[in-house]
Amino acid sequence: MFRMFKKLFRSVREYKKESLFAPFFMIGEVAMECLIPLFTARLINSIQTGSDMREIMHYAWILIGMALLSMTCGMLSGWFAATASAGFSKNLRHDLYDRVKDFSFANIDDFSSSSLVTRLTTDVANVQMAYMMVIRIAVRAPMMLIFSIIMAVNLGGNLAFTFVAVIPILGCGLLMIARKALPVFRAVFKKYDKLNESVEENVRGMRVVKSFVREDYEKQKFAIAAGNVRKDFTKAEKILAFNNPLMLFAIDFCMLVIPFFAARLIVSSGGSSMMIGNLSSLMTYSMQILISLMMLSMIFVMFTFSIESARRITEVIDTESTIKNPENPVTEVKDGSIDFENVDFKYSEGAQKFALSDINLHIASGQTVGIIGGTGSSKTTLIQLIPRLYDVTDGTVRVGGIDVRDYDLKTLRHEVSVVLQKNVLFSGTIKDNVRWGKEDATDEEIYEACRLAQADEYIQSFPDKYDKYIEQGGANVSGGQKQRLCIARALIAKPKILILDDSTSAVDTKTDALIRKAFAEEIPDTTKIIIAQRVASVEDADMIIVMDNGTISDTGTHEELLERSPIYREVYESQTKGGEEDA
């Protein structure tokens, strides 16, 4: 746990100054707060003994000075603490994102992206709160406790021993309540998260719920789950409900015992060993002592809650990306040739099934290669190994004759451009989106790439043309338009290898053919790999790979495969049957 905090505190960085100032001024504030009752006691005593106004004013000025000093210290402490904690959380978010952005897909799958978002937001907010507490309250409470006890002993002498009786009772009680309540809370928070997850499922699947007329079923299901959460929360809160009365008991005890003995002491000593002002201030100190204890127990509870968040954050920070740049990386890709040598691959170590097994393949630079295969035949998996989105489990993948693991990641991914199946556009103009491929691309280059991808024509039909704003996820362009933009985005980088993963499925056959024609004519030297559902998209490739269940079932040209691959023939026939009759 200690190491965990050390790691987290590394993110304080430029806010160290503020992080030190905050507790420093807090000590000042607490010192003043503890001195003030001492002087008010003197003030009251001088009123009681009928001293003249000069003496009263003397103490009054001291008190005013102290109040102003306390206010200044308090404000400064609060001011710095706000900056320190907000800054700390900013740096934490930065560091988290810095990690996450380099995560491999294996890493992201491990965490799930929604949990990463929660860690970046809710968990950081919890830690921020805890941090603010540490530099303020965690300094304030013990200081206050110590100062107040010293002052109480100083003022009340033996009467201060009342605290000796009360503090252990209160401390033990508070600790017991916290220890009993915490596990209950932890368990119920998990249930609560589950409940909210199920609501989310419902919101997303409302069409399904309504289509199957399951509204009442869902209501019942929810009522039961929510009822469980309520029961557990109530139980936990009832345990916490003893906190306040216990605290009151301690305060009340002091409030009754101290005046009684003080009265005895003052009266029987004839006012010589103690004065009324002391009694009044003694009561203030006892209040401060007990409140500090309460704060300490609160810190304890809050802290245990945020430890979970802290753990979740360090977990991310501790995770090294499974795909890292090698030392002395190769920074140039010679050509677009690709070799798979005895490649096996599975997504996680625990997976029983290999997603790819025994893949051997040679693709010469500049070739056009088609890949065909059923759902789950691992076509996408195969091509993701080329830009090293995943690392092989066994064997080697070589690009330009060199193991992909020896390349600088940037170089490799720059030269191997992939148009993904699950493709995404980002909010921004068309130009912004295409520039993802090449940050410093000129407008001319963008137009050129879009022309190649057959996107220029429809872009020209938009009122804003290339400045049209694309909404999140590309919601305001059609699927075919989106796919062509994604192709343009990949093309603009002028890669040595271009991979299209089912990227023209929504594009009409004519445009699809035009795109392929443009590829053949304009970028003949680029190695092109095309995964497709339509046989038409791959039939004139130099080589077609037929995938089946994670293995290469056959490779060859269209004619060869038609003759000898039953799978290929089946796909071909299912798509052309009838079509030919009509043609």
Partner 1 sequence: MPEKKMPGAKKGTFRRLIKLLFADYKWQFLIVCICLIVNGVSNVMPAVLLKNITDIIETGLSLGNGAWLVVRPQVIRLVAIMGTVLLFGLTAALVKGLTMATVTQGFLDKMRNRMFDKMQDLPIKYFDANGHGDIMSHYTNDIDTLRQLISETVPQMVQSSVILLALVFVMLYYSINMMLIVFLGIILMVVITKTIGGRSARYFVKRQQSLGKLEAYVEELMNGQKVVKVFNHEEKSMEEFDVYNEKLFLDTQNAGRFGNIMGPMVMNVGNLLYVLVAITGGLMITEGLHNWSLGGLLNGTFGAVISVSVIVSFLNICKQFTGNVNNIAQQFSSVVMALAGAGRIFELMDEEPEKDDGNVTLVNAKRDENGELSECSEHTGLWAWKHPHGDGTLTYTELKGDVRLFNVDFAYEEGKPVLHDITLWAEPGQKIAFVGATGAGKTTITNLINRFYDIEDGKIRYDGININKIKKPDLRRSLGIVLQDVNLFTGTVMDNIRYGKLDATDEECIEAAKLANAHDFITRLPEGYDTMLSSNGSNLSQGQRQLISIARAAVADPPVMILDEATSSIDTRTEALVQKGMDSLMKGRTVFVIAHRLSTVRDSDAIMVLDHGRIIERGNHEDLVAQKGAYYQLYTGAFELE
Half-sphere exposure (Cβ direction) of 259: Cα atoms closer than 13 Å: 8
- From first CA to last CA, the distance across the chain in angstroms is 73
CA dist 399 to 196, 491, 544, Å? Answer: 47, 19, 19
Binding residue for partner 1 (CB under 8 A) from 47, 146, 182, 402? Answer: 47
Cβ of residue 392: shortest distance to partner 1, in angstroms? 17
Element spanning 486, H or E: helix 479-491
Q: Which residue reads 């216990």 in tokens?
A: 246
Binding region for partner 1 (CB under 8 A) out of 168-176, 258-266, 328-336, 355-363 = 258-266
Cβ of residue 452: shortest distance to partner 1, in angstroms? 17
Cβ count within 10 A of residue 426: 12
Q: What residues have CB less than 8 Å from 119, skipping those under 6 apart?
A: 96, 111, 312, 313, 316
Binding region for partner 1 (CB under 8 A) out of 175-183, 230-238, 325-333, 444-452 = 230-238
Q: Determine, following the binding rule CB under 8 A, whether residue 35 of this chain makes contact with partner 1.
A: no
Residues 377 and 108: their CA atoms lie apart, in Å, by 23
Cβ of residue 438: shortest distance to partner 1, in angstroms? 9
What is the x/- site pattern for partner 1, positions 11-30, by CB under 8 A? Answer: ------------------x-
Site residues for partner 1, 184-203, by CB under 8 A, read 196-203
Cβ of residue 523: shortest distance to partner 1, in angstroms? 18
What is the x/- site pattern for partner 1, positions 300-339, by CB under 8 A? Answer: ----------------------------------------
Q: Determine, following the binding rule CB under 8 A, whether residue 347 of this chain makes contact with partner 1.
A: no
Which of residues 295 and 389 has its CB atom nearest to partner 1 in the complex?
A: 389
Element spanning 551, H or E: strand 551-556
Q: Which long-range contacts (CB under 8 A, 24 or more apart) does 89-94 make?
A: 89/124, 89/125, 89/127, 89/128, 89/131, 91/11, 91/12, 91/13, 91/14, 91/15, 92/8, 92/11, 92/124, 92/127, 92/128, 92/313, 93/120, 93/124, 94/11
Residue type, 540: D
Cβ of residue 3: shortest distance to partner 1, in angstroms? 26
Which of residues 338 and 493 has its CB atom nearest to partner 1 in the complex?
A: 493
Cβ of residue 382: shortest distance to partner 1, in angstroms? 15
Q: Which long-range contacts (CB under 8 A, 24 or more apart) does 97-106 make?
A: 99/316, 99/317, 99/319, 99/321, 100/316, 102/321, 103/319, 103/321, 104/321, 104/322, 104/323, 104/389, 104/390, 104/391, 105/384, 105/389, 105/390, 106/322, 106/323, 106/347, 106/348, 106/390
| Dihedral class, residue 204 (left if φ above 0, else alpha if ψ from -120 to 50, else beta) | alpha
- The count of chain residues that interact with partner 1, using the rule CB under 8 A, is 165
Site residues for partner 1, 387-416, by CB under 8 A, read 387, 389, 409-410, 413-414
Which of residues 248 and 342 has its CB atom nearest to partner 1 in the complex?
A: 248
Binding residue for partner 1 (CB under 8 A) from 427, 467, 469, 517? Answer: 427
3-state secondary structure of 542: coil
Which of residues 153 and 225 has its CB atom nearest to partner 1 in the complex?
A: 225
Q: Determine, following the binding rule CB under 8 A, whether residue 172 of this chain makes contact with partner 1.
A: no
Binding residue for partner 1 (CB under 8 A) from 420, 518, 523, 562? Answer: 420
Look up residue 123 and give its DSSP letter: I
Which of residues 146 and 225 has its CB atom nearest to partner 1 in the complex?
A: 225
Question: What stretches of 319-389 show up as alpha helix (H) in DSSP?
Answer: 379-384
Cβ of residue 105: shortest distance to partner 1, in angstroms? 7
Which of residues 360 and 570 has its CB atom nearest to partner 1 in the complex?
A: 570
> Would you state the structure tokens that stand for residue 186, as one six-digit string?
């932890």
Q: Which of 378, 357, 371, 365 is nearest to 339 (CA)?
A: 365
Site residues for partner 1, 496-535, by CB under 8 A, read 506-513, 533-534
Site residues for partner 1, 149-168, by CB under 8 A, read none
Binding residue for partner 1 (CB under 8 A) from 6, 10, 190, 210? Answer: 210
495 touches 400 (CB < 8 A): no
281 touches 38 (CB < 8 A): yes
Site residues for partner 1, 66-105, by CB under 8 A, read 66-68, 70-71, 73-75, 77-79, 81-83, 85-87, 89-90, 93-94, 97-98, 101-103, 105
Q: Determine, following the binding rule CB under 8 A, whether residue 471 of this chain makes contact with partner 1.
A: no
Binding residue for partner 1 (CB under 8 A) from 120, 182, 330, 402? Answer: 120
Q: Determine, following the binding rule CB under 8 A, whether residue 112 of this chain makes contact with partner 1.
A: yes
Cβ count within 10 A of residue 451: 16
Which of residues 242 and 303 has its CB atom nearest to partner 1 in the complex?
A: 242
Which of residues 56 and 361 has its CB atom nearest to partner 1 in the complex?
A: 56
Site residues for partner 1, 438-457, by CB under 8 A, read 439
E runs forming strands in 480-537: 497-501, 527-531
Binding residue for partner 1 (CB under 8 A) from 376, 401, 524, 566? Answer: 376
Q: Which of 416, 433, 415 is nearest to 424 (CA)?
A: 433
Question: What stretches of 136-275 show up as alpha helix (H) in DSSP?
Answer: 137-156, 161-204, 206-211, 215-240, 243-268
Cβ of residue 192: shortest distance to partner 1, in angstroms? 9
Which of residues 3 and 353 has its CB atom nearest to partner 1 in the complex?
A: 353
Which of residues 150 and 241 has its CB atom nearest to partner 1 in the complex?
A: 241
Q: Determine, following the binding rule CB under 8 A, whether residue 426 of this chain makes contact with partner 1.
A: yes
Q: Determine, following the binding rule CB under 8 A, whether residue 50 of this chain makes contact with partner 1.
A: yes
Site residues for partner 1, 277-296, by CB under 8 A, read 277, 279-280, 283-284
Q: Which of 332, 312, 147, 164 is nearest to 250 (CA)?
A: 164
Which of residues 3 and 101 has its CB atom nearest to partner 1 in the complex?
A: 101
Element spanning 561, H or E: helix 558-564
Half-sphere exposure (Cβ direction) of 244: Cα atoms closer than 13 Å: 4
Binding residue for partner 1 (CB under 8 A) from 5, 16, 121, 190? Answer: 121
